Amino acid sequence: PRKIIIDTDPGQDDAFAILLALGSPEDLEVIGVTSVAGNVPLARTTLNAQMVLELGGRPDIPVYSGCARPMVRALFTAEYVHGDSGLDGCDLPSPTAPLGTGHGVDFIIDSLMAAEPGTITICTLGPMTNLAMAMVKQPAIVPRIAEVVLMGGGFFEGGNTTPAAEFNIFVDPHAAHVVFTAGVKLTMVPIDCTYKALMTPAWLGELRALGTRTGVQGAGMAEFYQRFGNQKFGTDRYPLHDPCVIGYLLQPALFSGRHCHVAIDLVSPLTGGMTVVDWWNVTKNPPNCTVLRELDNDAFYALMLERLARLP
Ligand code: BDR
Ligand code: CA
């Protein structure tokens, strides 16, 4: 199996990403989870990550607490989407395992420096602060990273936090800039793609009908999160963003996109935090990122259900 570190700010959709990875041990080995401030402050994303691992029956996977704020900007959170806990709508088991010792940034650095180069993939599901800080602190990690797959950004659909910026990039655009200019193999799953990963009430019903605690609590959190979709889009369908990252690692053929140059707008008062995608290569800048735009929604949700069904 491919070794991954999940860097995350759970978040209901982050929780689904973690659970999808836990349900896929033949494909993915989660060597650790690092938490970051994002959807809610750090103390809560850290606890949430621990509780999701507990729910998935894998308290043995260590959680390392990462950065409490973005590199430059003040923290902006999203309780309005995820609820005050970040994981409203469910009742998760308390952690039985202690928090990993050491900082999340150091866990990323130490793991990459200790492993064979090209064997660890980093999945970022929140603001990219931890990975960027790791690259700044120890640049030697950059060529050792197999690939970075991130949920964030959006260009064709616009933004979900400002008219131009998606939440994860908006919260820490400087961190995104560090990663996008590092020269690492990069795949981005923007809202242009995740807005097509629509969870339906029927799927939610099937999840709950699994009757397992993962199925029941997963359905609870998904239902809470979907209520926000009803307010926003006026439909009964809502996208689960972050599990698309894991879905892509599991079955890349379900996704399509294009390798192009992407730059982060760091300065504009109107479009700061925007991922500027040069889809038509008009700048002639060398491509630095594979930008996913399409996915097979039915196959993706079938895969999720199959994998979640394996968990306790
Ligand atoms: C992203 O923002 C967060 O609210 C979600 O967890 C996801 O990572 C979507 O824009
Ligand atoms: Ca997230």
Residue 232 has what pLDDT?
74
Q: What's the gap in Å between 284 CA and the centre of ligand 1? A: 31
Cβ atoms within 10 Å of 161's Cβ, excluding its own = 18
Q: What's the gap in Å between 241 CA and the centre of ligand 2? A: 8
Q: What's the gap in Å between 133 CA and the centre of ligand 2? A: 18
Residues of the chain short of pLDDT 50, as ranges, are none
If one residue of 9, 18, 160 were mutated to test the ligand 1 pocket, choosing by the most ligand atoms within 8 A of its CB, it would be 9
pTM greater than the 0.95 cutoff: yes
Q: Is the CB of 242 under 6 A from ligand 1?
A: yes
Q: Is the CB of 164 under 6 A from ligand 1?
A: no
Residue 272 has what pLDDT?
97
Residue 228 has what pLDDT?
74
Q: Is the CB of 12 under 6 A from ligand 1?
A: no
- With a threshold of 0.90, tell me whether the complex ipTM lies above it: yes
Residue 229 has what pLDDT?
73
Residue 24 has what pLDDT?
98
Q: Is the CB of 39 under 6 A from ligand 1?
A: yes
Residue 291 has what pLDDT?
98
- 28-35 and 2-8 strand pairing: parallel
Residue 70 has what pLDDT?
98
Identify the residue whose C-alpha is closest to ligand 1 atom 10: 167
Residue 7 has what pLDDT?
99
What DSSP state is assigned to residue 298? H
If one residue of 35, 160, 167, 244 were mutated to test the ligand 1 pocket, choosing by the most ligand atoms within 8 A of its CB, it would be 167
Report which of 34, 83, 35, 70 is spatially closest to residue 223, judged by C-alpha positions: 83
Residues ≥6 apart with Cβ < 8 Å to 139 = none
Burial class (CB in 10 A: 0-12, 13-18, 19+), 284: exposed
Residue 236 has what pLDDT?
80
The atom of ligand 1 lying closest to the CA of 12 is 6
